[in-house]
Structures are given as C-alpha cells and as structure tokens.
C-alpha cells in the first residue's frame, strides 16, 4: 500500500501521520475512511479504558480479600460493587493527563507507563510459573491429566516457552538504550524501573509474611473441587452451521 520511499514514513510528529495505515488511506484517496477509523479508535479506547478500570478494581479487591491490601477495599455496595476499589483505580487514570504536558510531566508519565507495562508482563510471568507449578503438583499427587475436563495441549512445554518469551521481553524492554551510543541514565531508569519495584515488593512480602515456596506434593488441589464437580453443565447443541463449525473449532 505504501512505497518504502514515501517521505511521510520518516516524520516524527508524535501523531498518527507517519502510520503506514494512515498514509495508505491518504494515497487511496478514500475520504470517508479516516473519519471511520477515528470513530473506531475512539470507541476502542473507551472500551479498553472501561475494561481495565473493571479489571484493576477487581485486582485490588482480590488483594484485599487475600489480606495483601488494606481491608477498607473490601467495602461494597448492596449490589456487590467494590466502590472504593473502583474509585481508587479511577483516580490513577487522571495521571494520563501528564502526557499532554511538556518536559518533566511527560517523563513522569513515561515512568508510570513503563511501570504498568512491566507489571503486566510480570503478571504473565506469574501465570506461567503458576501453570508450571500446578502441573508439577498434579504429577506429584497422582492426578491424571486425562481426567481433567479442560486440557491445554503441549504442556508444560508451552508454559515454559511463554515464560522464556515474557522474560526476554522484560529484559530487552530498554534495548535501545544499549545500542548506537544511545546510553542515557534517564532512559535506562524509565525502561527498567518496574523490575526492581516488582522484586522489592515481592521480597518485602516474603519477609513480612515469612511465606515459603510450597512444594508440589503439598499444594492444595482439592479444596472446593467437590462443589465444582457437582455443577451441572447442560450440553450445548449447535443451532446452525456457523455454531457447528464454532463448536468443532473450540
């Protein structure tokens, strides 16, 4: 769609003007499409913000339930909405207005941006470790994977592959700082500030609670299992050819 010699690809305006997608639309002279794309982007941004507000507030609520956050976050409305968690999570979203400033405010915004990005990657690292340890626990306690209602293919190898991949992304997040003489202390801290924060919080909690790493043979795999086994899951029958294909695919 866009020739590699197009000069607009080299622009650095801080906007979407250098996007090959935008340039392609302009070259095709499709007048209505840019407005449609803007509407899609705005809708997607609003949807993403709403989803992360929900997820962030429930993460905070879950931490409070586990005793890893103040109990005040357990307060809910009569309908079960953790309104304090929602309010606190929403307040942090106001930090995004730092991006429209200049100088130091933009730098601070980039710090927060990298902290949340690294935190998200560490979340996936934790999920991979939990999946690997869960499979070790099943093996140590004689749980046959064939008896599980939901089984992921290629395990535990895919979990290990994902763990390596996310770890590499964390380590190479600021790779640009080390190349072509781009070394800059501020850029280095911006890229990697989330790493020491994560390990400091993890180490503090381990020391504060004196919790230990649970051996696979001691992992509790059975609490609550009976209630789940007693659940009745009605068989879903496809109503049309599309649903037949979807059920076959899933």
DSSP code per residue over the chain: ---TT-GGGG---SSGGG-HHHHHHHHHT-SSHHHHHHHHHHHHHHHHHHHHHHHHHHHHHHHHHTTSS-GGGG---TT---HHHHHHHHHHHGGGGGGGS-THHHHHHHHHHHHHHHHHHHHHHHHHHHHHHHHHHHHHTT--GGG-SS--TTTTHHHHHHHHHHHHHHHTTTGGGGSTT---HHHHHHHHTHHHHHHHHHHHHHHHHT--PPPGGG----TTHHHHHT---PPP---SHHHHHHHHH-
Domain tally, the chain: 2
Greater pLDDT, 16 or 234: 234
Q: Is residue 64 part of a domain?
A: yes
In this structure, are 73 and 115 located in the same domain?
no
* pLDDT tops 90 at residue 89: yes
Instruction: Give residue 83's pLDDT band: very low, low, confident or very high (50, 70, 90).
Output: very high
Res 12: pLDDT: 66
| Mean pLDDT, the chain, whole residue set | 86
Question: pLDDT value at position 15?
Answer: 64
Q: Are residue 60 and residue 156 in the same domain, yes or no?
A: no
Domain shared by 198 and 120, yes or no: yes
Q: Which of 7-11, 103-107, 121-125, 209-213 has the lowest mean pLDDT?
A: 103-107
Domain assignment of residue 32, yes or no: no
126 located within any domain: yes
Residue range 18-31: mean pLDDT, rounded: 83
Q: What is the mean pLDDT of residues 160-184?
A: 87
Task: Tell me, yes or no, whether 89 lies in a domain.
Answer: yes
Domain range for 196: 102-220
Please check whether residue 28 lies inside any domain of the structure: no
pLDDT at 60: 94
Q: Among 74-83, 101-110, 136-145, which stretch is predicted with the lowest mean pLDDT?
A: 101-110
Q: What is the mean pLDDT of residues 25-49?
A: 85
pLDDT-derived band at 14, boundaries 50, 70, 90: low
pLDDT at 162: 96
The answer to the question of residue 70 being in a domain is: yes
**Quick check: 205 pLDDT over 80?**
yes
The mean pLDDT value for 58-64 works out to 94
């Amino acid at each position: 769609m866009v020739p590699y010699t197009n000069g607009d690809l080299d622009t650095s305006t801080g906007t979407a003007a250098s996007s090959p997608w935008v340039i392609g639309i302009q070259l095709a002279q499709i007048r209505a499409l840019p407005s449609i794309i803007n509407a899609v982007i705005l809708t997607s941004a609003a949807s993403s913000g709403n989803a992360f507000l929900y997820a962030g507030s429930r993460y905070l609520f879950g931490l409070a339930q586990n005793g890893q956050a103040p109990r005040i976050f357990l307060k809910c409305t009569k309908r079960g909405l953790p309104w304090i968690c929602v309010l606190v999570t929403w307040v942090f979203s106001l930090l995004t207005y730092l991006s429209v400033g200049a100088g130091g405010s933009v730098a601070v915004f980039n710090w927060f941006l990298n902290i949340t990005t690294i935190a998200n990657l560490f979340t996936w690292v934790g999920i991979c470790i939990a999946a690997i340890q869960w499979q070790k626990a099943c093996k140590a306690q004689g749980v046959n994977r064939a008896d599980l209602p939901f089984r992921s293919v290629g395990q535990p190898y895919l979990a290990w592959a994902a763990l390596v991949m996310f770890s590499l992304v964390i380590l190479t997040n600021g790779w640009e700082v080390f190349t072509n003489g781009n070394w800059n202390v501020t850029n280095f801290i911006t890229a990697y500030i989330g790493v020491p924060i994560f390990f400091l919080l993890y180490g503090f909690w381990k020391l504060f609670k004196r919790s230990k790493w649970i051996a696979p043979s001691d992992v509790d795999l059975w609490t609550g299992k009976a209630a789940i086994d007693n659940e009745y899951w009605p068989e879903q029958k496809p109503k049309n050819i599309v649903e037949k294909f979807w059920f076959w695919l899933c």
